[in-house]
Each structure stands twice: as C-alpha cells, then as structure tokens.
C-alpha cells in the first residue's frame, strides 16, 4: 500500500499528468469536430470557370453559383484560353468534347494552373450527371416525367428497437453502439500500451539509479512490483474517470448548441422538397424526418445502453488486462538496464495488443462472429475484444468463461513475472536472454 500510494501521488502531481488529463478531451473533440466543421464551411473565393463546348449540346447546362461563375466561350478557341488562364481572369477551363464510344456521355477535360478544388469538380460532375440522365429519360417520351421523378424520390430509414424477453421495447441505435464499442476498445488499448510502457521505463530508471537496492531492503520484490502496477492502474482509472466526466459535459453542450441549427437546416430541406409535392406527402416526410433525426432519439438510444454491465465490464477487463500486461512490462524492465534493450522483449507483449485492434474492427461489424468470439475468450486479447462486443450484448456463459480464463491467466503471469522481477531487478552487467530469464523462474529463495 505504501508503494501504491507513493506511485499514485507521484504521478498525479506531475504537471504533464494534469495538463494531459484536462486537455485531452478538448483535443479529441477538436480532432473529431474541427475537420467536419471546416469541411462544411463554404469557400468564399469567387472562381470563374470558362467553358468551351465543342459538341454544342451543353450550352448553358452548367449554372453559376454564388462563388462559382460559369462563362461560356462560343467564338474563342480552347488553346488560346488554356495558355493564358490567369491573364484572362479564369480559374480553370472546361472543354467538352464528344466521346468516341458514347454520344450521350461527353468527354470532359478541366485545365487549370493549380489543382482544382473538390467543390468545383463536384459542381460540374453533378450538374452534367443530372442533365444527361434527364435527357436519356426524355427519349422514352414519358408524360409528366419531372413529376414522376420527384414522386419516386425515396429516403428509407430504419428505426431500430431492442425487445427484451418480457416484451419491453427500448430505442436503440447501431451507430451509437458501434461508437461506444470502438471508444471502449481503443481506450483500453491506449491505456495499457502507454501506462505499461511507463511502468517498464520506471523500473529501468530505478534499477539504473540503484534506488531499487534501497527499496528491496525494506520490502519484498513481489510486493514492490504489485504496488507499482496497482498504483499506475489507479492513476489510469482516475484519468479515465475525469475524461468521461469532461466528455459528457462537452457532449451535452455540443448537442444543445447544434440542435437548433440542425432542426433549422432540416426544415429548409423539407421546404425545398415540398415544392411540387402534395400536402400529404410533405406531412409524411416531415414526420419521418423528425422521428429519425431528433437528437432526443439519439440520446434515448444512448441512455438505453446497459451501462451497469458496460461500466462494470470495463472496470473488470481494464484492471485485469492492465495488470496482466503491466506485470509483463515490469518483468521486461527488471531484466534490462536501458530502454534500448527492450525492443526484442516487448515485441511478444505488444503483438497480442496489435492483433486485438485488428480483430476489433471485425468485431464491431460482426460481434457474434467466430473471430470476435474466440478472441474475446483468449485471455491476452479478451480485454480489448470483449469490450468491443459488450455494448452489443454478450451471453452470460461467454462472459463468465472469458472472465474466468482471464483471472486464471492473470495469476499465472503475475507469478512468472514476479519470479523474473525478483532476480532481474538486482542483476547488473549480464546480457539477458530468454534462456536466462527462464532459469530465473526456477530459482528458489
């Protein structure tokens, strides 16, 4: 307990820990939100696109927008404009030629001195796609074609509900469950890898400074190893708790800020769709959109998750998985004298973690598949893969089997790691090998 307390207090008092704990949620939120926000911003630079239509079939087919101005050149050769784009004040030149294999689909070539932006390409491609599709359909001489096309537009969305054995229905959301599974698994992976490495580096540092020789005079090496591991586990749990609280707070603020903006945008879209449709159809669209896109449904799906099981499972698998890998990292740290000597020994430890992340992707898509099942049972991969499956629901017997095997493996690994730790922590000047470390396990006394 003294070593645990010392390890815990030393870590949480560091400025790096405080800054990382408080700013990490803001950083992750910025990484997720900023790219989407910046991508949604409209480009305010006005770009003038010159169009030379050599087919004569697409005159005025591409309309101008607020920031993209289309200028059709009827009497100017493309070669003359292409070589003097900047002098003529054009952002790019679009040349429309007839394709050899298709009379309907033109050959489009966009010339520019810089790489053209994606919004310019999308505006040209989407506009001409619709123009060509409409012309092809009109060749069938269908009456009221525009109204038919408007009426057949359909946006099908599935509302998911979980039904218990007693018949109770609860709102669910597959994206919410997948996101929760990904966050739990990836958080487990990062904390085990980062904190495990810190334990190994701490052991190497104490061994190099000969501080450990003073400590082992008052405490057994096994208790010292377990105290360091439990202290780091406590630091990790505290950090995760603070992250969860801050993330929930930031998410609540974000939902309240964007809820009104989203609702306004949806109503504007519905008003545009309602043009040319009857009132009954508009009413159905409004009702369907409100049901499927209401943020309250998202929150209801999140609240209907089995959080007691998820939180309890996360704490158990985090502690067992963390202690399992931390013991191995501590054993490696005790066997070497510098960080550069750890690469060969840490590779077998990190491989199951990397493999777990690979299987996690498959587990999110198919949580009950054979790959996810077996890797959630194997003790060295179950701390990550079982957390992937947990939000989707796991049969009790599978959970019990996975937990039992993990606990048994934990005691075996800690026993082996302690045998290595007690010898390696006081070993200096001797080159380590796997054969030598196996001998350390058999030493008595």
Please check whether residues 142 and 185 belong to one and the same domain.
no
- The per-residue pLDDT for range 218-229, each reduced to its tens digit, is 777 778 888 888
- Beta strand residue intervals within 73-221, DSSP E: 92-98, 106-111, 160-163, 169-172
The per-residue pLDDT for 141 is 81
- Tokens representing 215 are 């400590």
Please check whether residues 338 and 207 belong to one and the same domain.
yes
The domain that holds 91 is classified in CATH as 3.40.190.10
pLDDT at residue 434 above 50? yes
| Lowest mean pLDDT segment, chosen from 104-113, 263-272, 283-292, 361-370 | 283-292
The per-residue pLDDT for 277 is 46
Instruction: Establish if 259 belongs to a structural domain.
Output: yes
Please check whether residues 137 and 251 belong to one and the same domain.
no
Give the whole-number percent of the chain exceeding pLDDT 90: 6
Q: Tell me how far apart the alpha carbons of residues 48 and 69 are, in angstroms, rounded to a whole number.
A: 5
Give the range of the structural domain holding residue 388, as residue numbers without chain letter.
181-442
- Tokens representing 321 are 């998985």
Q: Tell me how far apart the alpha carbons of residues 342 and 149 are, in angstroms, rounded to a whole number.
A: 66
- The per-residue pLDDT for range 21-33, each reduced to its tens digit, is 888 878 777 766 6
Please check whether residues 189 and 147 belong to one and the same domain.
no
- The per-residue pLDDT for range 228-275, each reduced to its tens digit, is 888 888 888 888 888 878 877 776 666 566 555 555 544 554 454 445
Please check whether residues 390 and 345 belong to one and the same domain.
yes
Please check whether residues 420 and 348 belong to one and the same domain.
yes
Tell which wins on pLDDT, 352 or 100.
Answer: 352
Q: Does the global pTM surpass 0.75? A: no
Instruction: Establish if 16 belongs to a structural domain.
Output: no
Which of 137, 152, 167 finishes a domain?
152
Please list, in sequence order, all residues whose beta carbon lies within 8 angstroms of the beta carbon of residue 183, skipping any fewer than 6 positions away: none
pLDDT at residue 290 above 50? no
In whole angstroms, how far apart are CA 90 and each of 49, 50, 72, 87, 123? Answer: 6, 6, 12, 8, 16
Average pLDDT over residues 182-189: 84
**81 touches 90 (CB < 8 A):** yes
Tell which wins on pLDDT, 106 or 172.
Answer: 106
Write the DSSP string, 123-179.
Answer: HHHHHHHHHHHHHHHHTT--TTHHHHHHHH-----PPEEEE-TT--EEEE-HHHHHH
The per-residue pLDDT for 304 is 67
């Amino acid at each position: 307990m003294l070593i645990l307390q010392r390890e815990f207090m030393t870590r949480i008092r560091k400025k790096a820990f405080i800054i990382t704990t408080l700013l990490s949620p803001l950083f992750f939120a910025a990484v997720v939100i900023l790219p989407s926000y910046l991508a949604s911003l409209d480009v305010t630079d006005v770009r003038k696109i010159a169009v030379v239509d050599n087919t004569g079939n697409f005159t005025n087919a591409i309309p101008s927008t607020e920031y993209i101005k289309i200028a059709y050149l009827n009497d100017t050769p493309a070669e003359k404009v292409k070589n003097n784009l900047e002098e003529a004040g054009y952002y790019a030149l679009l040349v429309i030629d007839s394709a050899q294999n298709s009379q309907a689909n033109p050959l489009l070539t966009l010339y520019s001195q810089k790489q053209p932006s994606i919004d310019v390409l999308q505006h040209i491609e989407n506009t001409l796609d619709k123009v060509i599709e409409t012309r092809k359909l009109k060749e069938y001489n269908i009456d009221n074609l525009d109204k038919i096309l408007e009426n057949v537009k359909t946006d099908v969305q599935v509302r998911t509900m979980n039904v218990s054995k007693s018949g109770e229905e609860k709102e669910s959301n597959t994206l919410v469950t997948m996101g929760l599974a990904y966050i739990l698994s990836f958080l487990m992976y990062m904390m085990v890898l980062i904190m495990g490495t810190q334990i190994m580096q701490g052991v190497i540092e104490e061994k190099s400074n000969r501080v450990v020789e003073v400590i082992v005079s008052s405490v057994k090496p096994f208790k010292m190893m377990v105290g360091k591991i439990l202290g780091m586990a406590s630091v990790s749990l505290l950090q995760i708790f603070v992250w969860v609280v801050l993330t929930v707070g930031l998410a609540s603020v974000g939902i309240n800020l964007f809820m009104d903006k989203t609702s306004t945008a949806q109503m504007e879209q519905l008003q545009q769709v309602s043009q040319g449709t009857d009132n009954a159809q508009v009413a159905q669209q409004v009702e369907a959109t409100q049901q499927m896109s209401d943020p309250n449904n998202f929150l209801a799906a999140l609240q209907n998750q089995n959080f007691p099981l998820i939180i309890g499972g996360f704490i158990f698998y985090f502690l067992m998985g963390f202690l399992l890998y931390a013991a191995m990292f501590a054993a490696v740290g005790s066997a070497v004298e510098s960080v550069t000597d750890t690469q060969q020994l840490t590779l077998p430890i990190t491989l199951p973690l990397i493999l777990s992340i690979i299987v996690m992707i498959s587990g999110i898509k198919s949580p009950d598949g054979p790959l996810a099942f077996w890797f959630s049972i194997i003790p060295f991969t179950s701390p990550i893969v079982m957390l992937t499956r947990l939000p989707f629901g796991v049969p009790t017997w599978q959970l019990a089997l996975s937990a039992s095997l993990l606990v048994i493996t934990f005691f075996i690994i800690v026993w082996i790691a302690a045998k290595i730790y007690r010898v390696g922590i006081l070993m200096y000047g001797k080159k380590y090998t796997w054969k030598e470390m196996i001998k350390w396990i058999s030493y008595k006394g």
